[in-house]
Amino acid sequence: MQSRPIVYGSFASLVTKNDTVSDPNHTHKWKVYLKGADGEDISYFIEKVVFKLHESFAVPIREIKSPPFQVSETGWGEFNIAITMHFVDPNEPPITVNHMLQLYHKDDNPLQKKYVVSEHFDELVFTSPNNDLYDALVSN
Ligand code: SLL
């Protein structure tokens, strides 16, 4: 068995006067990401990451084939983002996790920061990885 710690989540802040946005209704800039839990490069075992955004985006499916595995956007609303990891061995089934994009603070604390971070720590557990994936995992 092999396991690798990952972190996925989002970072959001308000659009400011200096930002250029494609749509005047967009109030926030945000990014959604998947990374190694210690910030390490995870591309030795992850081939690509597919982020599925809300259908209100002109191009909702975003395939990211090299690190950083992230999507930066602007928008106005919160929605669920499916994050699918594809591994270096094509026979290894992809794994999907879900992240709720958070733009707004959950309370009205006046000391709240100017940005909203929502992150999840997770552990990818490979009980019987296919050959290529196993080789990639143990050689790093
Ligand atoms: C819902 N929470 O579930 C809402 C959807 C959609 C957000 C929020 C901008 C898209 C664009 C955007 O922020 N969409 O203009 O490209 O119904």
pLDDT in tens, 2-19: 999 999 999 999 999 888
Measured in Å, residue 78 CA sits from the centre of ligand 1 at 6
Model confidence pLDDT, tens digit, residues 15-25 = 998 888 889 99
Measured in Å, residue 98 CA sits from the centre of ligand 1 at 16
The maximal CA–CA distance of the chain, rounded, in angstroms, is: 53
Count of helix runs (H) and strand runs (E) in the chain: 1, 8
Helix (H, G, I), strand (E, B) or coil at 111: coil
56 in ligand 1 pocket by Cβ < 6 Å? yes
- Which ligand 1 atom is the nearest neighbour of the CA of 79? 2
Predicted ipTM > 0.95: no
Measured in Å, residue 102 CA sits from the centre of ligand 1 at 12
Q: What is the pTM of this model?
A: 0.93
On the question of pLDDT at 109 being above 90, the answer is no
